[in-house]
Chains A and B, each alone.
Chain A
Amino acid sequence: MRTFLKLKLVLLAMAAGSTLFSVPAVFAAEQFFPLLVYRSGPYAPNGIPFANGFVDYFNMINARDGGINGVKITYEECETGYATDRGVECYERLKGKGPTGASVISPLSTGITFALTEKTHTDKIPIITMGYGRSESVDGSVFQWNFPLLGSYWTAADILVQHVGNLNGGLNKLKGKKITLIYHDSPYGKEPIPLLEKRAKMHGFKFSKIPVTHPGVEQKSAWLQVRKNRPDYVFLWGWGIMNSTAIKEAAAVRYPRDKIYGVWWAGAEPDVRPAGAGAKGYQSITLQHSAGKTAVHADILKYVHDKGNGSGPKGDVGHVLYNRGMLNAVVSIEAVRTAQGKFGKKSLTGEQVRWGIENLDLDAKRIKELGIDGMMQPLKVSCSDHEGSRRARIHQWDGNNWNFVSDWIEADNSLLRPMVETAAANYAKDKGITPVTCKS
């Protein structure tokens, strides 16, 4: 009899529990973010700090502010290993989670972005590709769901050409110079090629390109060609171990490191530290920010790391890729905050968050309030311009730290925009998309 009673109690408790859990999740004030990360595999050294910055900022906002205007941030990580197929799997698994599904997705992979662009359009989930992805997705009339915020690869390539032009006394002085692109043989690495070819035609510099196959550990042939052809500048479009290997090989063939300019995905600590002293003088474009700490880092340390909830080593807070992950989280949250202004302080759908991103306006005052002063320029997104800002600086590795060596340089939109519109129109025609009419 006693056993029966116990059983009855257990069953009652289970029933009560199931009632509790069956309360429709839609009423929970939560905003769900799927996080496609790579904490293992060949690209993990770069993926880990990025993911840590992302997660730490989310946790800090929850701990300090109680979420976004009281709406708690929830997230789930899914390991992609930087592989496109696994990235798509992660997306499919996470897109429906949370009370209103995925708010926004940031895959940190151009390959995954290519694979998800059509899916997110159908699923009505915005995709933020901060500093990567399809360059033509700047055109929001065609790519309504893609947001390559702060800079596309065409923007990066354009700024790099402008920078080396400035060093030579003007773009017209590049005539006869040789620029070689060493790139990761993937959609990511191939992105800057159309822009560089166009600039080469305009200014008369000789442009050559050398692909490096994944993961980029074997580059001897590439750098022997550099040694033979002696280009004036090398642009490096690598990721992961490819970057440090490139710098080591450059040192081996004695190519001057200060003539190599990496894209912003080749300008962080994991790219230079393994190359040791050989990396001194190496430069890269920044995605506006570099390494370093601002007011927001103090809050992250106080509310997250000091409470024992940091997602990585405390010493890594403020590193380049940590900051990038953190800024990606900042713009995602600010987009939700903007959307809340229109739709209310509740769990928002992906479609509503998309509106928030498209109407994102982070001016200098707001940037200061967010505690990220000096890390990014004002960002104003619109229907026709999903990039929002096209400015960057160059930083240089001195053997221990990154230091800015240029002022802000703005990409030439009069050159980029026609390219963006032509490529976007071709994509729309290809996929049968009717572009929306943008009022802004």
Chain B
Amino acid sequence: MAFFIEVLISGLMAGVLYSLVALGFVLIFKASGVFNFAQGAMVLFAALTFVRLIDILSETFAPILLSLAITIVVMIVLAIVIERLVLRPLVNQPGISLFMATLGIAYFLDGFGQSIWGSDVYALDIGIPKDSMFILESVFEGGILVSSEDLVATLIAGVLVATLAIFFQRTRVGRALRAVADDHQAAQSVGIPLNYIWVVVWSVAGLVALVAGAVWGSKLGVQFSLSLIALKALPVLILGGFESVVGAIVGGLIIGVGEKLSEIYLGPIIGGGIENWFAYVLALFFLLFRPQGLFGEKHIDRV
């Protein structure tokens, strides 16, 4: 029983970390209908910039804060450049063209980031505790393992989601974003500037990428593999729906728990190493019943 609870908790926490990456996808999809394939590359680029700047600014009075501030600026500049050079020329083009453009951005950012900052593994220490805790030791022999690192990551994800919710619901820009998400043309007709909104949404996605990169980087070390974490977000999106922040969170939790339980209880029967693809099987299973994802919007088109 204790082992099952351990697996369950570790799955939930892994799920929260997947949700962090999935959120970036959701934000851009909500506002522009573009599936941003470059979100993983943005996570890597943000984390690399952050960790390398900490190294460069190590002699200053507050290297982490300064690096954080500069990285935020870099991600906003990146959003502006992407809007000017990639998105603006593709306005009114089919969605697949925009998707292909984000593929290009992904490959560019992967290579560009590594060229500037290097391809090594960079340890990132932003003060997240690394030790594990053992709870309920009086109930279960050896207690139940809870990673304090994952626990802090969960808290960070919670704060991030709350902040995003406030931003979307309570601010002027947030309302404009929702308007654009609902209907581009209608939003434009009432004077909401589409280009500005795209810059804002890509900037926010960049900041989410930075948070995800910092949390994952602190856990694994900052290295190219961070960009592959995006693959973990895909089943989360399929399951939760591409347009829902809540979907990204709930989807992440289901995928996290599902893949850990499957690996441990099903893996030994069919050879192990199944958690990566099992996540997709799980997502597809949910799609059989809700094709738009758990929290996605149901689209009914006239034919």
Show the binding face of A for B, using Cβ within 8 Å: 39-42, 44-45, 48, 185, 209-213, 215, 217-218, 220-221, 224-225, 227-228, 240-241, 244-245, 248, 251-254, 270, 273-274, 276, 278
Is there contact, CB below 8 Å, between B228 and A215? yes
Is the C-beta of B169 less than 8 angstroms from some C-beta in chain A?
Answer: no
Query: A241-B221, A253-B132 in contact; A221/B119 too (CB < 8 A)?
Result: no
Query: B122 — which chain A residues lie within 8 A by C-beta?
Result: 274
Which listed residue (A211, A227, A270) contacts B272, Cβ 8 A?
Answer: A211
CB < 8 Å A-B pair total: 100
Is there contact, CB below 8 Å, between B267 and A221? yes
For A254, give the chain B residue with the smallest CB separation: B132
Is the C-beta of B229 less than 8 angstroms from some C-beta in chain A?
Answer: yes
Query: A41-B224, A225-B264 in contact; A270/B121 too (CB < 8 A)?
Result: yes
Interface stretch of the complex, out of B3-11, B61-69, B242-250: B3-11
For A47, give the chain B residue with the smallest CB separation: B119
Which listed residue (B6, B219, B224, B228) contacts A44, Cβ 8 A?
Answer: B224
Complex alpha-carbon distance, A245 and B271, angstroms: 22
Is there contact, CB below 8 Å, between B10 and A220? yes
Show the binding face of B for A, using Cβ within 8 Å: 3, 6-7, 10, 14, 110-111, 114, 119-123, 130, 132, 145, 147, 149, 219-221, 223-225, 228-229, 232, 260, 263-264, 267, 271-273, 275-276
Smallest beta-carbon distance B48→chain A, Å? 12
Query: A42-B225, A215-B228, A224-B10 in contact; A48/B220 too (CB < 8 A)?
Result: no
Smallest beta-carbon distance B3→chain A, Å? 5
15 sampled A-B residue pairs with Cβ under 8 A? A40-B110, A44-B119, A45-B223, A211-B273, A217-B228, A220-B10, A221-B275, A224-B260, A225-B264, A241-B223, A248-B219, A252-B132, A252-B145, A252-B147, A253-B132
* Most B C-beta atoms less than 10 A away, residue of A42, A185, A253: A42
Complex alpha-carbon distance, A98 and B223, angstroms: 35
Query: B223 — which chain A residues lie within 8 A by C-beta?
Result: 42, 44-45, 241, 274
The 10 closest A-B pairs by CB, nearest first: A211-B273, A44-B119, A274-B221, A221-B263, A185-B273, A274-B121, A42-B225, A211-B272, A215-B225, A45-B121
Query: B147 — which chain A residues lie within 8 A by C-beta?
Result: 252
Complex alpha-carbon distance, A221 and B119, angstroms: 27
Query: A270 — which chain B residues lie within 8 A by C-beta?
Result: 120-121
Query: B130 — which chain A residues lie within 8 A by C-beta?
Result: 248, 251-252, 276, 278
